[in-house]
Structure 1
């Protein structure tokens, strides 16, 4: 697909971007999540500085990303172990036949 130019508003600043058309919705949703997180921190904490709010939001999403990566790795390992066990069981079964 092609690239399009869009403008994304994060923390009251506009950022012009060139993105693939299939990624536009994802990027807009991500910007909304960041802005929602900033708003939440602004309302719940005595933080007014946009840089601090952005830093806290980035930390939140980076932590969530790392947790998701860890979970996928653990699940991949579990699936691989189960596949190995199944393969071993089938091998033993067919040896007896």
Structure 2
């Protein structure tokens, strides 16, 4: 579509960004998730410093990302094993058919 300029507020700071128009909703949702997580940490822990809250937020999302990558990798491995097994069954079937 093209680049657009937007302003995103994270932890009470405004960040001007130039992004692809197709990504605007995604970026705004990500900023909201970050702000919601910061608010949650602020309410549940005796932490007031925004830098500490941002660090906790980054750790949370990095951990979540690594878990998702590991799960996807395991699922890919399981799928590859199933495809290999199916290929073996089909190969054996067509060999017996001749």
TM-score for both structures, normalised by structure 1:
0.99
TM-fit CA distance, 1:23: 0.4
TM-fit CA distance, 1:86: 0.2
TM-fit CA distance, 1:32: 0.2
TM-fit CA distance, 1:69: 0.6
Alignment of 1:53 with 2:53, yes or no, is yes
TM-fit CA distance, 1:47: 0.2
SS at match of 2:28: helix
1:8 match: 8
1:72 match: 72
Question: Matched residue pairs, number?
Answer: 97
- Gapped regions of structure 2 (runs ≥ 5): none
Give CA-to-partner distance per residue, 1:17-76, whole Å, 9 cap, x none: 000000000000000000000000000100000000000000000000010011111101
TM-score for both structures, normalised by structure 2:
0.98
Query: Which aligned runs of 4 or more in structure 1 are off by greater than 2 angstroms?
Result: none
1:31 match: 31
TM-fit CA distance, 1:85: 0.2
